[in-house]
Structure 1
Amino acid sequence: MRFHRTRPARLLLGLALAPLLTGCFASAGDESGERTGKSGSRLRVALAFPPAENLSPYGADATVLSRLGVTEGLTSLDANGSAAPALARSWQREGDRSWLFTLREAAFQDGTDVTPARVAAALTRATEAKPAPAALSGVTLTAEPAGGDRVRVTTESPDPVLPLRLAGPALAVLSPKAYEEKGRVDPVGTATGPFALTEVTGSTAATLDRFDDYWGGLAHVSGIDARFIADGTARTNALRTGQVDMAEAIPVAQAATLDRSLRREIATTRTTSLQLNTRTGPFKDPKLRAAAREAVDTSAFAKDVYEGHADAGTGIYGPAVTWAAGRREQPVGRAEAAVPEGTSITLATYDNRPELPEVAQVLKQQLERAGFRVELEVREYSRIESDALAGKFEAFVVARNTLVDTGDPVAVLASDYTCDGGYNLALLCDRGVDRAVAKAQGAADTSARRSAAMAAEAEILGTDAVVPLVHQRVVTGVGNSVEGVLLDPYERTLVGTGTRR
């Protein structure tokens, strides 16, 4: 079945706006040498994280694609953390395990139509991905056309937050062309967002052009020239010297060097934590994990390392998750700390977020004072993620947005701390934790689900597999000529149709 789409209103709007846009924005070949498109200027963006997985939509790169306005799912996440329409304009629950989504009229960037069959196929591909997208941790779903413009999504067990789950960046819908090469998913020109990837230069740059047939309207800029600059100082300098119009994740050490008019700060749901390898090595012993946790002084990180741009760690969820504090429970079942007696460990982190190496250095000093012998290892994220997930380090410092995958507070617990979790850096497999997370996953009422999530958090913290260090605020560098930047506490969006310069 195929939709027969008509676009006269959109076409007339584009014809009417073309002269106006051409007059308002810079023409091709301006003095800076930047590339310009059919109408409107191009936006130059510096991103912190080079692709770790060839821009696969299923892993960490999914958020890069979402922030650049390339990909979309059936739903999105609104400012209150609720599911909002995206490729699906509405949905309804049919029973405990089944949901019916009604699609809007939309097109893929390769010119084909978004149809129920193609949406179902894209979701099926996501369920088959290895490792599984974090949003699907602990969930088995099937998708199929349901007649007309509808898609039915069925889960193996009841999933009361499925619309939130489908808003996860890793569950973006791509055209069949994206899956033609066996074992690889290619997002170049196959997504549905306002900007289409046209070229990816390894891990250094990407070129995007405006998708003129985007269902949400014509973007103000004709395209985006993205540069992946892992070094935070270099990103900041690129903004300061006018090489880019926007730079994400400005290091706190560099924020003070930028004019106040160039800084945008927002509280986020990102928590920096110390993850301890519970499967192999010395931290398999819960008593040594307890010793590491007792050695950590979290106040030093918020005050000194983050220079006030963060709050001391209190749990997996921080103050940006406004409902968490009133429901927080004391950790349960903690072991008595052992004496480290020179136990050797490797502590690793990455430098894409420039504060993390300093966090790791302070941690090293704190752990050594407690009696551990610590070797520090720092790499760029794309070169360390696989080793961290494989348990090649005893301890790992990570900055993790606790609501980025689905907006559901339970999802990060399932993906990061259960036996089957797809992003389980602590390699934790604990029956009590799995039971608590499963109970939270089964709660349908919003208030009950949040309370169950906090009970599960207490179980996880009780294992000492994770030590929350700080809850972050993020500083984005934005040029004075840029408007309409999408600052998001969930860090899923950055540029959209209304972003302009």
Structure 2
Amino acid sequence: MSPRPALPSPSLTRRNVLALIGLGAAGVTAPSLTGCASDKAAAPTVTGAPTGEARRGGTARLAFAGAGAAESLDPTVGTSPCELARHAVVFDTLFFFGDGEARPGLATAAEVDSAAKSCTLTLRQGVRWHDGTPFTAEDVVHTLRYRASPDRVSPSELSAYFDLAAAEASDDHTVVVPTVQAVGDPATMFAGAGLYVIKKGTSSFSAGTTVGTGPYRVTAFKAGRETRLERYDGYWDGKGYAEEVVLLSVDDAQARVNAVRDGQADYASDISFTTAKSGPPGSGLQIRDAGEQLRTTYGFVLNVTRDLPADPRVRQAIKLGIDREALVKAVFLGYGAPANDLFGAGAKYFLTDVPVPGRDVAEAKRLLAEAGATGKPFVVRTAEYETGLNSSAELFVEQLKGLGLDASLVKVSTTEGYDPAGMKACDAISFPLGPVSLALTYTRSAAFETLAFPDKELTKAVATALSTTSDSERAYAWTKAQRVMADRGNWVAWGRGDVLSLAKENLTGIENRDSPKYPWLGKVGFTA
């Protein structure tokens, strides 16, 4: 086999897989879609939020999937949508994603020197913490060193690229961070790291002491239930509209819908396709989609450490033989489209000219027979991290049987889904991924033996994409990497589904940054 990417990689933990797919470590519950496909037309959706100017005042109540009693105000831990939505309005990151690429936050620039030995962060001036003290470079240094500590629950993956512990402030608004390896686009690496900046000296977090630089500050917190946030009028990017934001932690998708229907919430994140197809459950409500660029890609990763997926003929046969249209119809119920075996749709540099593979069952059967795979066992593993993921796996298994494989399904809970030992024993693993940057998509997946695709050309292309400072060279390298994965890789990405929410018609200011499952709420409010 070809060598794996020569990159420092994160530790092999379930938390890191969930961080990649954008879900919380506590697991997510969702209803099964078995038998839900029908010919009934999908109810129409509204893309985005109203564009009218919001009025000042009022309380916006929004429901997200949470992590129960395990929830924390600590922005260095917790990856459930409710926690991430809270972190994003209480704290700021150095950079964040907008329209698929890195945008300036507390940092206005990140530049590497000509020898690629260090990165200089230029920080935004005029920013203040919620307690009125000025934000300085020492706060960033403290954050980087805090996240570099090996005793953290979740040490920052930036340590694979930067020597965070050696960061130094050269003045009040400049931080120099030594690099561990060449990094050509540091802003993207920082944007994807979920690095919320904490104040110098901070080591614990509670409702009475937590301060950030974000547009809202914490006034009350009950883990697994609700967080109350008060507008911070001194926010550097202009004060928000709602006087108060209440985040409700509600794991069950239908319960979130019920909260909006019954007037207990104004917004329910991440509702099911089945719910959307039934239409808004009351007057003054609307089903919203986040737009095609922010769809979630559904698929399977083939485990090439096992004999059948390691054979390129088997991989090609599966790509050619599955019925993507049937999967899309059964799972998305009209709220999605077939995919072209690539993850990372919506991110900068994503290839949009790779066609969806045409179905050729005869050729797929021929390839399996040639590989000696006909009649051989093929185990598919799935957990319901996304609505319909289990149903898609059930249909996938039936389609594989139709091609001649002795396919079977291992369906596990979300607490077991990405258990490394369990993944190792399976040939294919169900896998959802939103519009994550290509840097994260390719480097994090390569860190897991059961998800990685060892290939010399891929390894070289990814290394170049990460290290070059030339945008044109980076675009070319990402093109090569994606061509490899589309041609012979171990991804079977069959469809892209809308990310849906339920909201009151006059709720506005929902801004999709990192993920539409936990939008940025700094400007949330109500139109007149």
Task: State TM-score, norm by structure 2.
Answer: 0.72
Report the RMSD for the aligned CA atoms in angstroms: 3.8
Which one-letter code corresponds to 1:308 in the other structure? G
1:45 matched to which residue of 2? 62
* C-alpha contact 1:44 1:225 (8 A) present in aligned 2: yes
Matching residue of 2:286? 262
1:391 to partner: Cα distance = 2.9
Matched letter for residue 423 of structure 2: G
Aligned residues: 446
Pick from 320, 330, 353: which aligns with 1:304? 330
Which position in structure 2 is the counterpart of 1:70? 90
1:398 matched to 2:431? The reply is yes
Consecutive unaligned residues of structure 2, counting only runs of 5 or more, are 1-54, 358-366
- Comparing 100-109 with 117-126, greater Cα deviation is found at 100-109
1:338 and 1:304 map into 2 onto residues whose CA distance is: 31
Name which of 218, 236, 240 aligns with 1:215: 236
Distance in 1 separating the partners of 2:135 and 2:187: 19
459, 482, 486: which is aligned to 1:457? 482
CA 1:291 to 1:451, structure 2 compared with 1: closer, same or farther past 3 Å? Answer: same
Structure 1 residues 495 and 323: CA distance shift in structure 2, 3 A: closer
CA contact (8 A) 2:335 2:498 kept: yes
Q: Deviations over 1:441-478 (max 9, x none)?
A: 22332233122112112334555432112123222221
The separation in 2 between residues aligned to 1:345 and 1:462, in whole angstroms, is: 23
Aligned counterparts of 2:335 and 2:208: Cα–Cα separation in 1: 35
Residue 448 (structure 1) aligned with residue 467 (structure 2)? no
Moved over 6 A (4+): 185-188
Matched, 1:140 2:162: yes
After TM superposition, give the deviation of residue 355 of structure 1 in Å: 2.5
Among 391, 395, 407, the alignment partner of 1:373 is 407
CA shift for structure 1 position 155 = 2.0
Work out whether 1:339 is the aligned partner of 2:373. Answer: yes
Contact 2:107/2:121 (CA < 8 Å) preserved in 1?
no
- Deviation at 1:112? 5.0
Higher normalized contact order (CA 8 Å, seq sep 6+, divided by chain length): 2
How far did 1:484 drift?
A: 1.7
Check if 1:149 corresponds to 2:168. no
Residue 346 of structure 1 contacts residue 393 of structure 1 at CA under 8 Å; is this kept in 2?
no
Mapped to 1, the partners of 2:424 and 2:216 lie a distance apart of 38
For each residue in 1:5-41, what CA deviation from the matched residue of structure 2 results, as whole angstroms up to 9, or x when unmatched? xxxxxxxxxxxxxxxxxxx77xxxxxxxxxxxxxx33
Q: What amino acid is the match of 2:59?
A: R
Q: Which residue of 1 aligns with 2:389?
A: 356
Instruction: Give how far 1:133 is off.
Output: 4.3
Shift of the 255–329 alpha-carbon distance from structure 1 to 2, 3 Å rule, reads closer
Residue 122 of structure 2 is aligned to residue 107 of structure 1: no
Identify if the C-alpha distance between structure 1 residues 356 and 170 changes in structure 2 by more than 3 Å, giving closer, same or farther. same
SS in 1 for 2:258: helix
Q: Which residue of 1 is the match for residue 525 of structure 2?
A: 500
Q: Does the 8 Å contact 1:122/1:175 carry over to 2?
A: yes
Percent identity, please: 20
Asked if 2 retains the 8 angstrom alpha-carbon contact of 1:291 and 1:337, the reply is no
Aligned to 2:442: 413
Per-residue deviation, 1:83:
3.3
- Do the aligned residues in 1 keep the contact of 2:90 with 2:212 (CA within 8 Å)? yes
Specify every segment of 5 or more residues in structure 1 that has no aligned partner in the other structure, as ranges. Answer: 1-23, 26-39
Q: Which amino acid aligns with 2:217?
A: A
Quote the offset at 1:314 in angstroms.
0.6
1:411 maps to amino acid? L
The structural deviation recorded for 1:497 is 3.3
Aligned pair in 2 of structure 1 residues 487, 73: CA closer, same or farther (>3 Å)? closer
Q: Distance in 1 between matches of 2:432 and 2:184?
A: 28
> What TM-score results when the alignment is normalised by the length of structure 1?
0.75
